[in-house]
Structure 1
Amino acid sequence: MLLAIGGIIGALVITGILFVNFSPQFGGKISKEQLIEYAKSENHNEGKFINIGGVTSEMSMGNMLKAIGGMFKNIPNTKPNSPIEVQKVDSLNIANYHSKTRFIWFGHSAFLLQMNGKNVIIDPMLSEVPAPHPLLGGKRFNKELPIEIEKLPKIDAVVISHDHYDHLDYESILKLKDKVSMFFTPLGVGIHLQEWGVPKEKIVELDWWQETTFEDLTFISTPAQHFSGRGLSDRDHTLWCSWIIQSNEENIFFSGDSGYASHFKEIGDKYGPFDFAMIECGQYNELWSEIHMFPEETAQAGKDVKAKRIMPIHWGAFKLAQHSWTDPIERVSKKADELGLTLVTPEIGESTGIDDEGTSQNKWWNRYQK
Structure 2
Amino acid sequence: MFISILSIIIVLIILGALFINLSPEFGGTISDSQKEQFSKSEHYENGVFENLGGVTMSMGFNDYLKGLRGFFGPQPNARPKGAVPVVSVDSMELAKYKGPARMVWFGHSTFLFQADSRNILIDPMLGPVPAPHPFLGGKRFSEELPISIQELPSIDFVLLSHDHYDHLDYGSILKLKDKVQMFFTPLGVGAHLVEWGVAEDRIKEMDWWDETSFGGFSIKCVPAQHFSGRGLTDRGKTLWSGWVIQKDGANVFFSGDSGYGSHFSKIGDKYGPFDFAMLECGQYNKLWHEIHMMPEETAQAGVDVKAKVIMPIHWGAFKLAMHPWTDPVVRVSDKAKELNLPIVTPKIGEFIYLAEPTSDDEAWWTRVD
Q: Normalised by the size of structure 1, how large is the TM-score?
A: 0.98
Correspondences of 1:241-280 after superposition (within 5 Å): 241-280=241-280
Q: How many residues align?
A: 369
Task: Please name the residue that 2:71 is paired with.
Answer: 71
Q: CA deviation at 1:120?
A: 0.3
Deviations 1:180-227 (A, max 9, x none): 000000000000000000000000100000011002001100000000
What secondary structure sits across from 2:72 in the alignment? coil
**Structure 1 stretches (4+) deviating beyond 6 angstroms?**
none
Given that 2:309 and 2:357 are in contact with CA atoms closer than 8 Å, whether structure 1 keeps it comes out as: no
Task: Please name the residue that 1:165 is paired with.
Answer: 165
Task: Please name the residue that 1:335 is paired with.
Answer: 335
**Worse overlay, 51-60 or 343-352:** 51-60
Report % sequence identity: 60
Question: RMSD of the TM alignment (CA)?
Answer: 1.0
Q: CA deviation at 1:249?
A: 1.6
Correspondences of 1:216-255 after superposition (within 5 Å): 216-255=216-255
Task: Please name the residue that 1:346 is paired with.
Answer: 346
Given that 2:57 and 2:291 are in contact with CA atoms closer than 8 Å, whether structure 1 keeps it comes out as: yes
Structure 1 residue runs without a partner (length 5+): none
Q: CA deviation at 1:357?
A: 4.8
Structure 2 residue runs without a partner (length 5+): none
Tell me, in whole angstroms, the C-alpha distance in 2 between the residues paired with 1:72 and 1:15: 24
Tell me, in whole angstroms, the C-alpha distance in 1 between the residues paired with 2:86 and 2:356: 19
Task: Please name the residue that 2:142 is paired with.
Answer: 142
Given that 2:102 and 2:352 are in contact with CA atoms closer than 8 Å, whether structure 1 keeps it comes out as: yes
Q: CA deviation at 1:261?
A: 0.3
Given that 1:278 and 1:312 are in contact with CA atoms closer than 8 Å, whether structure 2 keeps it comes out as: yes
Tell me, in whole angstroms, the C-alpha distance in 2 between the residues paired with 1:59 and 1:335: 27
Residues 1:98 and 2:98 are matched in the alignment: yes
Q: CA deviation at 1:358?
A: 3.7
What secondary structure sits across from 1:71 in the alignment? helix
Identify if the C-alpha distance between structure 1 residues 360 and 300 changes in structure 2 by more than 3 Å, giving closer, same or farther. Answer: farther
Task: Please name the residue that 1:203 is paired with.
Answer: 203
Q: CA deviation at 1:352?
A: 1.6
Q: CA deviation at 1:9?
A: 1.6
Deviations 1:94-149 (A, max 9, x none): 10001100011000000000012110000011000000010110000000111000
Q: CA deviation at 1:75?
A: 2.0
Tell me, in whole angstroms, the C-alpha distance in 1 between the residues paired with 2:354 and 2:57: 33
Tell me, in whole angstroms, the C-alpha distance in 1 between the residues paired with 2:362 and 2:98: 26
Given that 2:269 and 2:305 are in contact with CA atoms closer than 8 Å, whether structure 1 keeps it comes out as: yes
Q: CA deviation at 1:71?
A: 1.3
Given that 1:344 and 1:361 are in contact with CA atoms closer than 8 Å, whether structure 2 keeps it comes out as: no
Letter in 1 for 2:205: E
